[in-house]
Amino acid sequence: MFRFYRPLSLLLITAVSSMSPAGQAADPARPPSLKTVAVPEPSNLADFVVDKEKAIILGKALFWEMRIGSDGVTACASCHFNAGADSRSINQINPDTRRVHSDGSSNPDQSFDFGPNRQLSINDFPFRQLSDVLDRSSLPLLDSNDVVSSQGVFAADFIRAYQGKSVDQVAYKRDDSGFLLGNKNLRRVEPRNTPSVINAVFNYRNFMDGRAQNEFNGVNNWGSRDSNAKVFKAISATQIEPVHISLNNSSLASQAVAPPLSDFEMSASGRMYPDLGRKLLSMRPLALQQVHHSDSVLGSVSAWPHKGLKLRSYADLVKATFQPSWWQSDKLIRAGQHGNPPTIINRHKRQNGDYSLMEYNFSLFFGLAIQMYESTLVSDDTPYDHYMMGDSGAISEAAVRGIDLFRSQSRGRCINCHEGAEMTGASITRVSASPIRVREEQAFDRGFNNIGVRSSHDDIGIGGTDPFGNSLSYTRSSSNVPICANGLPCPVIADGFIKVPGLRNVELTAPYFHNGGTLSLRGVLDFYSRGGDYAKLEQLDGSEIAPLNILMNNEDEKADMEAFLLALTDDRVRFQKAPFDHPQLYVTNGHKLEMNESTAKPGNAKDKFLEIKAVGRDGGPALRKFLQQ
């Protein structure tokens, strides 16, 4: 049913009732320019990385590399190629496969409301269409729990990866999760709408449910929650040993290592990072894709007009980027079976399950390199940023009125959740200062909110648990829950809470919300004007979400608010200019069955592809937005 957040949870889940004018808090200052915020970095990065420039080169190549996927055609960028997000509109529906019972047990829905392999249209939105757009209690004319997200891979079990071979050996299987047309498997679609990776470096945690931890353990997204996560380190020329590591401010690395092993996103089920390392390390980077000769990161090593980079292998880049203690050894590591720990063996005894130190630690290299690249994707050159840096003519008078509505405590209240220069309470700045918030005698994780997009049974968000049985909510699992006015610990609310996104470039990243169920910015403003899509929310003990005090029937104020949101677009993002330039990419774009092909015959449906052309530092034409003709 969902996945990351598209940049827009816009205004907020305010609470049960509005404050009276006499008790109204003062309006916060206008958010400063993002130029005033330093890009976060791990404090111990030098323990791992010896050359930051090489790390960015490696990270950009890996992010756009199509051979990361088990199928040899799926890259990280396949879901983040347009303004850091995904603008495809065919075979982008997930039938709410994360629906849960009230007791937290799984209850997947495999029935499509919109149908598999659907080409979405304007008339499909919003997914909850009310008979009165300004009355959340009005009769819904259409109500779907489907989710617009991103297509990934076909259902398959991993068998083996071969050194230097683009496609893994896999066993395809009938997709029992429902991605079928007749008897043909379709590419699976993620269960949350895809967020932008641009500015994600400022988030304390990533993924919409916050499961990508701030501290990176070198192995997976769980940080210190996973006590068994270890990488290997060469202590000497003849000795290696397993070690725990932790890098702070590294949620991007935690996030980056999850999709390449996901059997929905990029991988056949059962693949491990050492397998991906074995496959990729001997390959010439981006050998199937053109890289523009003026690429802002890769141009100096581009083989333009031929494909790929003028580098021998990914292994050479790893050696140039990382400390030798993480990759240089003659020892082999035999992967543990059935929960047993890995063992160290001599090289001459190599078997299929034996990996070099560089192969075994590939998750460490992958996560940190992707993080170093994504840390350059900061869109701080919007008209609004210029305005806040002193250029009074950078935005329109309407946009100025819009930002003042945005921060008004008696009217907009948007800034209460979209805080600071990052325009999200989920930022490292905000969470580090105060990780728990209290409102209306209830405590919850800072930077996460339930705004009434869907029932919490459709998306439990940080109300869910990690694989180790712990709540994803820091507040719910914390021993430091604030004391409320009655002298008792405040009740903690978490079910249905989703990470608050930043707002820059929202013009380019439709559809909106974690279900992708709203098409336009005006539709988002209408959503907040009526106080969400549900009159009561069971996860808030029946409390109502207060409608905005503005916008209800004021089209001028909606236009002002929209003018402000449009002033948050960075034209470097719009026109793919550095640092948002990129290599060539082919993305799967739904399926087309041949006229003489029967859907009764088992197998995978045939892919259609869309080419995203390579652009250099000067950019190119704007890519089409979602459903743009």
The helix/strand/coil state of 568 is coil
The amino acid that residue 477 corresponds to is S
User: What percent of the chain lies above the pLDDT cut of 90?
Assistant: 76
Helices (H), 530-604: 555-566, 571-574
Tell me the per-residue pLDDT of 44-77, one tens digit each, with 9 for 90 and over: 999 999 999 999 999 999 999 999 999 999 999 9
- The predicted pLDDT at position 15 comes to 35
- Name the pLDDT band for 352 (thresholds 50, 70, 90): confident
* Residue 100 scores a pLDDT above 60: no
Average pLDDT, rounded, for the chain: 90
CB 453 within 8 A of CB 192: no
Residue written as token pair 């990382």: 322
Q: Which residues of 146-177 are buried (b: 16+ CB within 10 A; e: fewer)?
A: bbbbbbbbbbbebeebeeeebebebeeeebeb
Residue written as token pair 């200019």: 577
pLDDT (mean) for 31-37:
98
CB 305 within 8 A of CB 290: yes
Tell me the per-residue pLDDT of 437-464, one tens digit each, with 9 for 90 and over: 998 889 999 999 999 999 888 899 999 9
Beta strands in 147-261 (DSSP E): 147-148, 156-160, 169-172, 180-181, 184-185, 231-236, 239-243
Q: Compute how many other C-beta atoms are within 10 angstroms of the C-beta atom of residue 129.
A: 16
- The predicted pLDDT at position 67 comes to 98
pTM, rounded to two decimals: 0.93
Indicate the range of 323-337, 461-475, 528-542 predicted with least confidence: 528-542
- The predicted pLDDT at position 536 comes to 63
* Residue 8 scores a pLDDT above 90: no
- Name the pLDDT band for 13 (thresholds 50, 70, 90): very low
Extents of the domains making up the chain = 1-216+285-311+378-629, 217-284+312-374
Residue written as token pair 């996973």: 226
- The predicted pLDDT at position 157 comes to 98
**Type and span of the H or E element at 388:** helix 383-388
Position with higher pLDDT, 65 vs 537: 65
As a whole number of angstroms, the distance between CA 318 and CA 363 comes to 12
Indicate the range of 1-5, 148-152, 281-285, 561-565 predicted with least confidence: 1-5
As a whole number of angstroms, the distance between CA 7 and CA 5 comes to 6
- Name the pLDDT band for 178 (thresholds 50, 70, 90): confident
The candidate with the shortest Cα–Cα distance to 435, out of 376, 477, 374, 381, is: 477
Tell me the per-residue pLDDT of 489-502, one tens digit each, with 9 for 90 and over: 999 999 999 999 99
Tell me the per-residue pLDDT of 143-161, one tens digit each, with 9 for 90 and over: 999 999 999 999 999 999 9
